[in-house]
């Protein structure tokens, strides 16, 4: 099963960029991964937040395939433990799902078109994290989930 991470906009903080690479490299030992960064729409006074999210949403959906399981990460989504997350990913792997696309939004979040298209909306917490940090946590939790699935002693 391949994991296709879709990020909106560049990683701003150099240290977060290092941590993203750190966890992405570890995760890649367990499963195939790809990270795609789609362009963040410039915020100007002539564009409403809805228009910005629509433009970014089109880029996000263009980076997915209709056959993907689409997961959106959003603070309003479904919360679960690391073990429950591992159970979800493990079940998809056993079912032979070819690719899971995981979307982490930009500063304005993720628009309604992408949320409507998603099979799952997952939350890390009801709190809002900066997008750079959300990328690190999602990658770390996905690495943790695969260490649980593969029986590697990382999760205590």
Ligand X SMILES: C[S@@+](CC[C@H](N)C(=O)[O-])C[C@H]1O[C@@H](n2cnc3c(N)ncnc32)[C@H](O)[C@@H]1O
Q: What is the contact surface with ligand X in residues (CB under 6 A)?
A: 73-75, 104-105, 107-110, 123-125, 127-131, 134
Which residue number, 131 or 148, has a Cβ lying nearer to ligand X? 131
Residue 17 labeled ligand binder = no
In the complex, least distance from residue 72 CB atom to ligand X, rounded to whole angstroms: 7
DSSP for 34-91, please give it: EEEEEPPPPP-TTS-HHHHHHHHHHHHHHTS-TTSEEEEEEEEEEE--HHHHHHHHHH
Q: CA angle 18-22-27, nearest 5°?
A: 145
Reported as half-sphere exposure (CB side, CA atoms, 13 A), residue 142 has a value of: 31
In the complex, least distance from residue 153 CB atom to ligand X, rounded to whole angstroms: 27
Residue 127 labeled ligand binder = yes
In the complex, least distance from residue 23 CB atom to ligand X, rounded to whole angstroms: 15
Summarize the annotated binding site as residue ranges: 105, 124-129
Summarize the annotated binding site for S-adenosyl-L-methionine as residue ranges: 105, 124-129
């Amino acid at each position: 099963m391949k994991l296709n991470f879709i990020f909106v906009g560049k990683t701003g903080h150099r240290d977060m960029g290092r941590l993203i690479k750190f966890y992405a490299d570890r995760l890649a030992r367990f499963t195939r991964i790809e990270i795609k960064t789609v362009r963040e729409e410039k915020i100007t006074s002539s564009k409403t937040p809805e228009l910005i999210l629509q433009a970014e949403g089109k880029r996000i959906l263009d980076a997915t395939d209709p056959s993907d399981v689409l997961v959106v990460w959003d603070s309003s989504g479904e919360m679960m433990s690391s073990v429950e997350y591992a159970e979800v990913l493990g079940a998809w792997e056993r079912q032979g799902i070819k690719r899971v696309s995981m979307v982490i939004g930009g500063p304005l979040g993720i628009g309604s078109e992408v949320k409507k298209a998603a099979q799952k909306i997952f939350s890390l917490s009801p709190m809002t994290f900066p997008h750079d940090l959300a990328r690190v946590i999602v990658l770390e939790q996905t690495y943790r989930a695969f260490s649980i699935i593969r029986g590697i002693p990382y999760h205590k």
